[in-house]
Structure formats: C-alpha cells, structure tokens
Amino acid sequence: MPRLDRHLSEYLGIKRSDVRLLLAQGRVQVDGKTATEINQVISRFSVVECDGNRTLANTPRYLMLHKPAGVVSATEDHTHRTVIDLLEQPWKDQLHIVGRLDFNTTGLVLLTNDGRWSRQLSMPGSNLIKRYRVQVEQPLSSAYIEAFQRGFYFEYEGINTLPAELKILSEFEAEVGLVEGRYHQIKRMFGQFDNKVLGIHRFAVGSLVLGADLAPGHSRLLKPAELAALSIKIGHNNSCTAGR
C-alpha cells in the first residue's frame, strides 16, 4: 500500500519535501482526519483531501453475478463474451474475478475491485466452501460419498485433493462441496469412476447463496450483511461497505 507523501507528490506534481509543509499547515485530511505524518500508509480506498479537493476516493465494489453457460470467466476475450461484458456499471473495467468457472459451468461468480478481499477469499486456509449441483451420466452410489471424503490423487500434478462433501440428490444428481479449486476438479473426481459430468452449477460460496431472484446474466451488489457474514466466516473483519 502506498504512503501518503508518495501519493500527494505524484498527484499534485510536487516534491515530497513540499508535502511535509502541506501537512504542517493542516491542509491534508485522510478519511476525515487531519494528517500529520508524511509516512502514513493509505489504501486505495482511503479518502484523501488537500485544501478540500479529493485526490483519492475510490469506492470498494463487491458483486455477485449469475453466470450463464457459454460465457468466459475473464476480464477480456477476443472470441467469447466475458462476465465483465454482462455488466452495465460504468466502473466494470475496474473489477476482477474471485474464483473462476469453466466456460459451460453456470452459477455464482464474485467480482470486486478490492484485491485484499479477493485474496482472503482465495487463500487455501480460508476453508471457504463452494457448493455445486452436478449432473452425471451414470448412476451414483454410496461409494462416491466415501471416495470424495477420502480425496483423490491427481497424477498429473502429483497431488491429493482435500476431502470433499458429496450428497446424492437423485440417481444422476449430486451436491458437491469443495474448499479448493483445482483445474476441472469436479469433472476429474467423477472421472475416477468413469462417470461423465453433464452439467455443473455453483449455487453458493460460503454464506452467499445464489437465489432465484437473480436471473442468468444478471448481477447485483452484495448487501452489507452478506459481506459482513462472509468476512466473519473467513476470519477477516472488513470495514468496507458493499458498495455505494
């Protein structure tokens, strides 16, 4: 994160020694308080003002989107439509994706401009469970539940997957809960049984659940309560709002 003197020096086009004078004269405020230390660390979401004029005032954004099939989880793509293309907000180009979904996988995708928040959610130690509904070609049995709980060995990477939850919903449909996201992980786990996956839909990330009120291709800002609940779940107290 940048220091206050560096930010003001670059924004105002002045020397850092001149920033010291501005602070001594009480002309700089950070988050509504008069700044006194030139080495004060600020974040990209700090509100910095000099003589009443804002030099920095980014708003943190946190969105959930219902991804349809045939859309790329990327910020740009020269061939296919991306999740960013689905958004109508003027600040959509500031966003990045938190946890991608495959081209034909549908469901909940999170987007933000807060890199710290997305890193917290993506850390293996967060133990944030992502839940999916999966349709398969061959009938399911209790053997799947036991195997998913044990984890699988992926020879190509030379790794063992973490234990995963599997609940059989019907003969050809299951609910899967993962705390990691290996490449094509769900397809490869069912592939251990030579059972082809026909469809995957992510309906929850932690405490966030994709409801019927959000149609495919649509998005909305997270509510403050949703953001707070998710932050508590990953052990991170985030004071930012869900969007203004």
Tokens of 18: 């001149």
SS3 68: coil
Give whole-number Cα distances, 27 to 11, 19, 22, 57, in Å.
15, 10, 5, 17
Element (H, E) at 21: helix 16-24
In the residue annotation, 85 being an active-site residue is answered as no
Contact 43, 57 (CB under 8 A): no
In one-letter notation, the amino acid at residue 13 is G
Who contacts 106 (Cβ-Cβ below 8 Å, separation ≥6)?
Answer: 66, 67, 68, 69, 199, 200, 201, 202, 216
Q: Which of 31, 102, 194, 213 is catalytic?
A: 102
- Which residues are marked as active site? 102
